[in-house]
Structures are given as C-alpha cells and as structure tokens.
Amino acid sequence: MATVLVVDGANVVGARPDGWWKDRAGAARRLHEALLVADLPQDRIVLVLEGQAKGGVRPGRDAHVLTVHAPKDGDAAIVGVVREALEKGDRVTLVSADRMLQARCGGATALGPTWLLDQI
C-alpha cells in the first residue's frame, strides 16, 4: 500500500497572496519545484493543475511528483485521481481547503493548504 498526496494546485497557490494571479503558470512552476525537493512523508505526490497554471509545468512524472493537467475543471480531475488511488488500496491525503471537494473525495484524509505550505 502506497501513500499518495494529491495537491489541488489552484487552491494551494491561491492560499498565499504573493501575486500569483499575475503569473499563474509561474506560480504553478514554483509549487512544482518546491514539491520536488520537499521532505514529505508520502510515497507519491500528484499535483493537479488547471487553466493557465498548466502552462508552468508539463504533464507527466518528474521524480516522485506526477503532474496532471485537468482537461476541464480541476475538481473533477482531483476526484478521479483520488478515487483511482483509493481503488488501488492506497492511503490518500488531499491538500485543499475546498470543503465541497473534500466531501467528494470521501476516504481521503483532508489537509489544508497551510499544512503543505508549512512543509515546503
């Protein structure tokens, strides 16, 4: 059984008022780079990006971080990633402050963006 950290990229980036709205792709790239070097307890990290943020990180695996580009809305992609991991028997932690999304991802432990930002 693996442990998987699923990161709602838009929600995490939006939690820190550092001007991310001026360069969404750059903000996504900085988050991805931080996740690559972070010392987190999970075996795998899945970063889900949507909209303009997708321009900052190519989709696919980079070391232990898998970047997923949401084809439409990020929430639907996140729910799919979480469900797939849970079906494999993985232990999943979702990082998002979106309570509706957390409810849709039943079975996953939910942590807010502040937890992740404090780790990286």
Instruction: Give the span between the Cα atoms of 63 and 65, in whole angstroms.
Output: 6
Instruction: Give the span between the Cα atoms of 82 and 85, in whole angstroms.
Output: 5
What length does the chain have? 120
User: pTM, whole model, 2 decimals?
Assistant: 0.94
| Ramachandran class of 119: left when φ > 0, alpha when ψ lies in -120 to 50, beta otherwise | alpha
Question: 92-113: b or e for each residue (b if 16 or more CB lie within 10 Å)?
Answer: bbbbbbbeebbebbeebebbbb
19 close to 38: Cβ distance less than 8 angstroms = no
What is the pLDDT confidence band of residue 24, given thresholds at 50, 70 and 90? Answer: very high
Q: Which architecture characterizes domain 3-119 according to CATH?
A: 3-Layer(aba) Sandwich (3.40)
What digits encode the pLDDT tens for the residues 40-79?
999 999 999 999 999 999 999 999 999 999 998 899 999 9
β-partners of residue 66 are 46, 61
Q: Which are the contacts of 40, defined by CB distance < 8 A and separation ≥ 6?
A: 5, 119, 120
Four-residue CA torsion sign, 69, 74, 77, 81? positive
What digits encode the pLDDT tens for the residues 68-98?
999 988 999 999 999 999 999 999 999 999 9
